[in-house]
Amino acid sequence: MSVAGIQSNIYQRRWWTLIVIAISVLIVVLDSSIVNIALPTLQRELGATISDLQWIISAYIMVFAGLMLTTGSLGDRLGRARMLQAGIIVFAGASMAAAFSDSGTELIIWRAVMGVGGAMILPSTLAIIANVFPREERGKAIGVWAGLNGIGIALGPIIGGLIIENLSWRWMFFVNLPVAAVALVLGWFLVPNSLDPNPKRLDIPGTLLSMAALSTLVFGLIKSNDWGWSDARVVGSLGGAIVLIAAFTFWERHSAHPMLEIHLFRNRRFSAGVAAVCLMSLGLVGITFTLTLYMQFVKDFSPLQTGIRVVPLALGMFVGAGSADRLVRAIGTTRVMLIGFLGTAAVGAVASFWDVSTAYWQLGLVFAGLGFSLGYVAAPATDAVMGALPEGRAGVGSAMNTVSRMVAGSLGVAVLGSILSSIYSSSFSRAVSGVPGIPGEIVGPASDSVGAAIAIAERLPPALGEALSAIAKQSFMDGWQVMAYVTCGMSVVAAVFVLRFMPPRHEASEIEVDAVETAKARTGMTARRL
């Protein structure tokens, strides 16, 4: 088949390719949220310790984040479709092994391997979109990709709740297998392979430094909530991460074949897009994390009921991300993202008025508004990052986008979680001191978190239990109010940042590929799958 025929087939099947990409994204995003629902069950049935439970979550996130830049770079070098399919195989194999785990340690190991597969899958999906879709359609396709991330986040608790209530916890991993099989088979026929037409030598020192830096940074952020910011292990992890990041930057600036060209950040759309993704994730992940606590411990919804009730958030994000491209074409990236961040600021202001008795219809409207506003940020920011790079470096761009989101999300959970926890503890201690009859030995454990207080209240006599539960819920809302103000403030800062630094349109720059290189990149797509 001629080059023109290959390009024609790729173009004609681009939306089918996006469907395969959507399925691949779904299994990764689902797994990031579905396991949280099963933690109490895993503790009971596997005899897992609290430390085991923490590592079941942390091992996946650390490996995922640590390998992202490496797998993105390898995808550019070896082929994105090959990397995607290899990642699906690794993810599915590790899922099957995880389902047969007989101990917490086994499950931690296989979750780490799943993180390897996820790191191979996610950067490849966005890079393939950047190479399959022409510039004029790429924003719409990326909007669908961003919206699907939101859908996956919402589906995780729902599917996890259904499985826990009706099946064994092992089905949380078995459910990945048929989805992976569909993505693998369809991907063989519908996803064209693409790669950098001028690949550099493998940057082994840069690869090792990036893995060490990102893993150490994410570990420190995750553990800051458990151990506290002043703990020597947290300080050491974060300090070590800063040193490793500095070493990575120095190496990449002086390497003849860097994994991540530092000069990419001279492109204003690329650097502003990465910063916007960070600012969005900083507030989004933090507030969605605390939303789960609010819905389950304050509103007394079950995990399944919580998952169902946050669907408006996912739908709002899907609609917002899917429709953002049309508005970008009309008024430019800057204004659309400005609308999005101001929308999230307004949502934060409204959420600060919530209390223990706020009706769900009010919550649902705010969820939908938050999702829609975030869609107006996520899709244009991602398109700005990907559109600023040569197509040959799409894998690295995709990895940078995802790494920024994950690291900022971990920081958001750590910072906002610390704010909420600190205010909850102080408010709870003051309020409980004025209630006679509450045993002094339970005050310390109950002041640790609202979940701990609710669990303790269930073991007390009804009158004392109700009093303790009411104090805990109100103390949580005291912290929630401050956290909502902080989220509102961060969104306003982000809006000012976008207005100041984000160019409204895609512009040619010194780091963009010229027409000849673009043609080479497109002809590098393999015809054998078509």
Residue count of the chain: 530
Same domain for 19 and 151: yes
Amino acid letter for position 376 = Y
Q: Which of 230, 220, 198 is nearest to 407 (CA)?
A: 220
* Two tokens, residue 373: 């506003």
CATH number at residue 54: 1.20.1250.20
Same domain for 279 and 238: no
Residue-wise pLDDT for 246-294, tens only, equals 998 888 888 777 777 777 777 788 888 888 888 888 767 667 767 777 8
Measured between alpha carbons, how far is residue 359 from residues 81, 120, 182, 230, 442 in Å?
A: 47, 42, 41, 39, 31
Residue-wise pLDDT for 402-416, tens only, equals 777 777 777 777 777
Same domain for 252 and 130: no
Q: Is residue 33 part of a domain?
A: yes
Burial of 1: CB neighbours in 10 Å, binned 0-12, 13-18, 19+:
exposed
Same domain for 373 and 499: yes
Assign 519 a pLDDT band (cuts: 50, 70, 90): very low
pLDDT greater than 70 at residue 241: yes
Domain boundaries, position 246: 201-257
* pLDDT for 518: 39
Same domain for 225 and 187: no
Q: Which of 419, 385, 415 is nearest to 402 (CA)?
A: 385
* Two tokens, residue 357: 């008795």
Q: Is residue 452 part of a domain?
A: no
Q: Which of 87, 61, 63, 56 is nearest to 74 (CA)?
A: 87
Measured between alpha carbons, how far is residue 438 from residues 13, 197, 229, 335, 456 in Å?
A: 67, 70, 31, 54, 11
Same domain for 227 and 123: no
Q: Which residue has the tokens 């080059």?
A: 3
Supply the mean pLDDT for the chain: 79
CB atoms within 10 A of CB 410: 25
Measured between alpha carbons, how far is residue 493 from residues 166, 182, 275, 496 in Å?
A: 45, 43, 12, 5
Same domain for 103 and 173: yes
Q: Is residue 88 part of a domain?
A: yes
Q: Is residue 315 part of a domain?
A: yes
Same domain for 280 and 249: no
* Two tokens, residue 487: 């989220």
Phi, psi of 197 (to 5 degrees): -70, -15
Contact present, 410 and 57 (Cβ < 8 Å): no
Assign 9 a pLDDT band (cuts: 50, 70, 90): low
Contact present, 217 and 235 (Cβ < 8 Å): no
What is d(CA 157, CA 305) in angstroms, rounded to the nearest whole number? 9
Measured between alpha carbons, how far is residue 57 from residues 21, 63, 225, 299, 507 in Å?
A: 25, 11, 14, 25, 41
Assign 515 a pLDDT band (cuts: 50, 70, 90): very low
What is d(CA 422, CA 518) in angstroms, rounded to the nearest whole number? 53
Residue-wise pLDDT for 37-78, tens only, equals 776 677 778 777 656 766 777 778 778 877 877 887 787 777
pLDDT greater than 90 at residue 338: yes
**Total structural domains within the chain:** 3
Phi, psi of 459 (to 5 degrees): -95, -5
DSSP 8-state assignment for residue 367: H
Q: Is residue 108 part of a domain?
A: yes
Same domain for 25 and 157: yes
Q: Which of 74, 180, 13 is nearest to 527 (CA)?
A: 13
pLDDT greater than 50 at residue 437: yes
Q: Is residue 523 part of a domain?
A: no
What is d(CA 91, CA 111) in angstroms, rounded to the nearest whole number? 9
Q: Is residue 231 part of a domain?
A: yes
Q: Average the pLDDT over 111-127 and give the result.
A: 86
Q: Which residue has the tokens 């160019």?
A: 503
Q: Which residue has the tokens 């995780």?
A: 156
- Angle at which helices 104-132 and 360-387 cross, to 10°: 60
* pLDDT for 147: 76
* pLDDT for 58: 73
Q: How far is CA 245 from the centre of its chain?
A: 21
* Two tokens, residue 348: 């934060």
Same domain for 244 and 326: no
* Two tokens, residue 10: 């790729």
What is d(CA 191, CA 13) in angstroms, rounded to the nearest whole number? 9
Helix (H, G, I), strand (E, B) or coil at 251: helix
* pLDDT for 365: 92
Cα Rg for the chain, rounded, in angstroms?
A: 23
Contact present, 14 and 133 (Cβ < 8 Å): yes
Of 257, 275, 291, at which residue does a domain stop? 257
Measured between alpha carbons, how far is residue 417 from residues 142, 154, 220, 325, 514 in Å?
A: 30, 20, 14, 33, 46
Segment 43-50 long-range contacts (CB within 8 Å, at least 24 positions apart): 45/169, 46/101, 46/102, 46/103, 46/104, 46/107, 47/103, 47/104, 48/103, 48/104, 48/107, 49/104
Same domain for 252 and 162: no
Q: Is residue 60 part of a domain?
A: yes
* Two tokens, residue 283: 């507030």
Measured between alpha carbons, how far is residue 325 from residues 18, 71, 281 in Å?
A: 16, 28, 20
Same domain for 58 and 194: yes
pLDDT greater than 90 at residue 96: yes
Q: Which residue has the tokens 């939908």?
A: 368
